[in-house]
Amino acid sequence: MFFDEAKIYVKGGDGGDGCVAFRREKYVPFGGPSGGSGGPGGNVYLVVDRNLNTLVHFKKRVHFKAQRGGRGSGKNQQGKKGQDLLIPVPPGTMVYDAESGELLADLTEEGQRVLVAKGGRGGRGNAAFASPTNQAPRLAEHGEPGQERWLRLELKLIADVGVIGMPNAGKSTLLSVVSAARPKIADYPFTTLQPNLGVVTVDDYHTFVMADVPGLIEGASEGVGLGHQFLRHVERTRLLIHLLDGASADPLADYEAINRELALFSERLARRPQIVVLNKMDLPDAQAWWPLVRETMEEQNIPVYAISAVSREGVRELMQRTYTLLQTLPPPEPAPAEMAVFRPAEEDEDVFTVEREEDGWRVRGVRVERIAAMTPFTLPEAAARFQRQLRAMGVEAALEEAGVRPGDLVRIGEMELEWRY
């Protein structure tokens, strides 16, 4: 089975916790606070690895988490930074946010990487809170939680030439003849159940990559048959070889039907240059159709060839013309720059909302949730600082205006707090 879609969970490493410590050394009577800050968590990156050609390695492993940052310690020692996590993906991987459907990156080049989950920053130790008015703070922070999200990965194979056509037109046979690829070949429809790639060598030193997909039938763009699942794999190609079955009842009708499905699937794909090839010229039916097929294509100024993939008649000339035509076509369009790296949606961190829930209240907001997650409530000074921050942000006033009462449950992120005046 060909794995060209996957859904994975990624999480950046949590930041390390800050430390509460005081310097106690001989001859240093006023050493003061010396608790170091925690180290930042590791980031999660997707990295292109050309040795991969499917997403099958995500079948058994779905969850990926980067290393958390190290805890701070005494003597103002900062925690170690968490190690970044690099997840290899094949060239041609499209990265989408699973929840919003937003395209985050289009990874095509070897070594290209995209940041998909950022590690949290380390919590500050008590040395960072020292001031002239608070010279011995017993206060530190937890590390910030790393970003987490579900991603949907979609693979589009990268090939120069795509071979399309009806089932049993001979696409896999042609690929096996002109390259080292060994796709499954049989004399019944839908033999090919997955895309196949092969490297074609022309005149001993010119090469290009060719792909064939499962046969298309009428209604493929709406999900009929098998080929519709793999049409996206020929979207990146620069040239299409439209293979016609010479043994078909009407090869020209097949040609029109396939082109309609391409247009319904993608107008851009429908405009892709084509070479029309009538296959199975070793059969009398194909020989009878050839004059009409040639005349029809020449009237439309479309390159047309007649071959027999089985006997290899005309195959060499077809590959030479294919390579020559490729040289006249523009290179593949690069991915837009704005999709090369992940940029989180910009939002005002100070904005928050207060919502009534069945058994309490819910406060949502980037900054207020981060403050709650980083506050160690077991430290009295930290809890008091948290109260001051809520008051300064206007959260207290918003809750009171909404109707909160003493004893009500207030949730901020993962924290559950009991409201008191």
Residue-wise pLDDT for 354-390, tens only, equals 999 888 899 999 899 999 999 999 899 999 999 999 9
Q: Which CATH number, 3.40.50.2300, 3.30.300.350, 3.40.640.10, 3.30.1330.10, labels domain 353-418? A: 3.30.300.350
Report the pLDDT value the prediction gives residue 227, as an integer from 0 to 100. Answer: 47
d(CA 155, CA 129): 49
Q: Which CATH number, 3.30.70.1380, 2.70.210.12, 3.30.470.10, 1.20.140.10, labels domain 1-155? A: 2.70.210.12
Distance of CA 169 to the CA centre of its chain: 34
How does 192-221 read in b/e, with b if 16+ C-beta sit within 10 Å?
A: bebbbbbebebeeeeebbbbbbbbbbbebb
Report the pLDDT value the prediction gives residue 348, as an integer from 0 to 100. Answer: 65
How does 244-282 read in b/e, with b if 16+ C-beta sit within 10 Å?
A: bbbbbeebbebbebbeebbebbeeebeebebbbbbbbbe
CATH 2.70.210.12 in the chain, residue ranges: 1-155
d(CA 118, CA 44): 6
Report the pLDDT value the prediction gives residue 189, as an integer from 0 to 100. Answer: 46
Instruction: Determine whether domain 161-328 maps to CATH 3.40.50.300.
Output: yes
Report the pLDDT value the prediction gives residue 347, as an integer from 0 to 100. Answer: 52
Lowest mean pLDDT among 62-71, 186-195, 352-361, 395-404: 186-195
Contact 119, 40 (CB under 8 A): yes
Contact 402, 354 (CB under 8 A): yes
pTM over 0.75: no
Q: Is the pLDDT assigned to residue 69 strictly greater than 90?
A: yes
Report the pLDDT value the prediction gives residue 421, as an integer from 0 to 100. Answer: 65
Residue 400 makes CB contacts below 8 A (sequence gap 6+) with none
Report the pLDDT value the prediction gives residue 333, as an integer from 0 to 100. Answer: 58
Residue 132 makes CB contacts below 8 A (sequence gap 6+) with none
CATH 3.40.50.300 in the chain, residue ranges: 161-328
Look over the chain and give the mean of its residue pLDDT values, rounded to a whole number: 84
Query: Tens digits of per-residue pLDDT, 93-106?
Result: 889 999 988 888 88
Q: Is the pLDDT assigned to residue 2 strictly greater than 70?
A: no
CATH 3.30.300.350 in the chain, residue ranges: 353-418
Mean pLDDT calculated for residue range 161-188: 74
Query: Tens digits of per-residue pLDDT, 230-280?
Result: 676 677 788 999 999 998 889 999 899 888 888 887 788 888 899 999 999
Q: Please give the residue that has the higher pLDDT: either 303 or 343.
A: 303
Q: Confidence band (pLDDT; 50, 70, 90) for 186?
A: very low
Which amino acid, one-letter code, is at 323?
Answer: Y
Which 3 state secondary structure label does DSSP give 134?
A: strand
Query: Tens digits of per-residue pLDDT, 124-167?
Result: 999 999 988 888 899 999 999 999 999 999 887 777 888 888 88
Q: In what order do the strands lie in the sheet with 93-97?
A: 63-65, 5-11, 148-155, 93-97, 103-107
Which residue, 17, 22, 15, is CA-closest to 138? 22
